[in-house]
Copies of this chain bind each other. A is one copy, B any other.
Amino acid sequence: MRFTIVREEFLKGLTIVGRAIAAKNPVAVLSNIKLELNEEGLVLTGSNYDLSIKTLIPFKNGDNEIIRNYKEGATLINAKLITDIAREMEEKEITLDVLDTTVATINDKRSEYQLNCVRVEEYPDLDLEADGTNLVLTTADFDLLVDQTAFAASNKDQRPVLTAINLEAFEGLLTATATDSARMAKKIMSVPNDVGFNVSVPAKMMTEVARLIEGVSAVEIAVGDKKILFTFGKTIVATRLIAGDYPNTKNIVPRTTNYSLEVNSQELIKAITRAKLLSLDRENVVDLTMSEEGVTISARASQVGSSNEKIEMYRFEGDMLKISFNSEFVVSAIRALGSEDVVFGFVGEMKPFVIKNPADESVVQVVTPVRTY
């Protein structure tokens, strides 16, 4: 294998597939990137089994030549080294030449590297073929789906299924749900009527895909039995699904609420940020007190002191209520809604409460209060 390639394009491709390569990979061969020059161009592949990414750098982009002076072939090269080298080199083009199956040279006018490489036969077979149900989402919709739910997934591995975003397509609606069992985020959007599936995709992988699709207009999703495939531009991302039943979250959103509070998002976030400076006893827990007299956020740390924040702009309906919650859960839920105002709906002191954008029914955030002593 041999090719001379525009350095920027090579680096872009290496960086994309490098996202799948773990810093410490238990399977040594997966610390490499697979480079394959075939009739379509240079195909790069990176994988950590859970996540696999394949991208094609074509010979030409329109009239601009990207790869020239090439000979077909394939090899495996250490991902970190080849990416660092491509990043640090300075010329417009670099040349990679696999001398025999075990040594590659990479050079431009001033730099020359010799790198040991690994025979391509050692690389595992990865399943990157689309099967199952197909669906196309715009990048904007996909981003919204991930941004409004992924943060609520668990980051602990005790119940693997809770580290996922559950995606359910049924009767024309796609519902994305994430919960770590103390809070829940749910986003609903329309999809074609004939699309149907119910799968759990690791939330981290969804976030990774959202990052990778930046700059393209849409992403094609293929939902299979054991994997989900995302295709965009010249890149394919495959991620395994998480097996096991996703918990039933249908009844978590309270149908009716007894108290309603509408506030300015930024004012509330700032008040919480200040009040929680004193939430030292139970980290991040603050109290929200609502009554005819006003709305306050407060916290207390024994032997240190207390804080009290008045909310200036609000609309409250209901009797007096005091409720304690993890302020980080509430702040990230408000941020995910992304609206100027938010509406809280409470059932009672110890019941899960909802946070919504008053102008958008497609997304709902639910947070369980913290018991006060």
B residues less than 8 Å from A310 (CB atoms): 110-111
- Mark out the residues of chain A between 284 and 308 whose CB falls within 8 Å of any chain B CB in the assembled complex: 303-308
* Complex alpha-carbon distance, A176 and B223, angstroms: 67
Does A262 interact with chain B (Cβ within 8 Å)? no
Does A362 interact with chain B (Cβ within 8 Å)? no
- Whether A277 touches B112, Cβ cut-off 8 Å, given contacts A90-B270, A270-B90, is no
Does A225 interact with chain B (Cβ within 8 Å)? no
Does A171 interact with chain B (Cβ within 8 Å)? no
Give the Cβ gap from A182 to chain B, nearest Cβ, in Å.
Answer: 26
- Mark out the residues of chain A between 97 and 139 whose CB falls within 8 Å of any chain B CB in the assembled complex: 103, 110-116
B residues less than 8 Å from A332 (CB atoms): none
Whether A303 pairs with B113 at a CB distance below 8 angstroms is no
Does A89 interact with chain B (Cβ within 8 Å)? yes
- Whether A305 touches B113, Cβ cut-off 8 Å, given contacts A81-B277, A277-B81, is yes
Give the Cβ gap from A60 to chain B, nearest Cβ, in Å.
Answer: 29
Whether B114 pairs with A309 at a CB distance below 8 angstroms is no
A274 — nearest CB in chain B belongs to which residue?
Answer: B88
Whether B307 pairs with A111 at a CB distance below 8 angstroms is yes
* Complex alpha-carbon distance, A88 and B299, angstroms: 15
Whether A274 pairs with B85 at a CB distance below 8 angstroms is yes
B residues less than 8 Å from A115 (CB atoms): 304-305
- Whether A88 touches B305, Cβ cut-off 8 Å, given contacts A110-B312, A271-B110, A310-B110, is no
Does A273 interact with chain B (Cβ within 8 Å)? yes
How many copies altogether?
2
Query: How many of chain A's residues touch chain B, expressed as a range?
Result: 20 to 34
- Whether A111 touches B273, Cβ cut-off 8 Å, given contacts A116-B303, A303-B116, is no
B residues less than 8 Å from A78 (CB atoms): 304
Give the Cβ gap from A34 to chain B, nearest Cβ, in Å.
Answer: 18
B residues less than 8 Å from A88 (CB atoms): 270, 273-274, 277
* Complex alpha-carbon distance, A265 and B365, angstroms: 56
* Complex alpha-carbon distance, A357 and B78, angstroms: 39
A303 — nearest CB in chain B belongs to which residue?
Answer: B116
Whether B111 pairs with A305 at a CB distance below 8 angstroms is no
A310 — nearest CB in chain B belongs to which residue?
Answer: B110
Does A84 interact with chain B (Cβ within 8 Å)? yes
Q: Interface of A with B (CB < 8 Å)?
A: 78, 81, 84-85, 88-90, 103, 110-116, 270-271, 273-274, 277-278, 303-310, 312
The 7 closest A-B pairs by CB, nearest first: A115-B305, A88-B274, A114-B305, A112-B308, A114-B306, A113-B307, A110-B310
Give 16 pairs: A residue, B residue, CB < 8 Å, sorted on A.
A81-B277, A81-B304, A81-B305, A85-B277, A88-B270, A88-B274, A88-B277, A110-B309, A110-B312, A111-B271, A111-B274, A111-B308, A112-B309, A113-B306, A113-B307, A114-B306
Beyond A84-B277, A113-B308: 15 further Cβ-contacts under 8 Å?
A81-B278, A81-B305, A88-B270, A110-B271, A111-B271, A111-B274, A111-B307, A111-B309, A113-B277, A113-B278, A113-B305, A113-B306, A114-B305, A114-B306, A116-B305
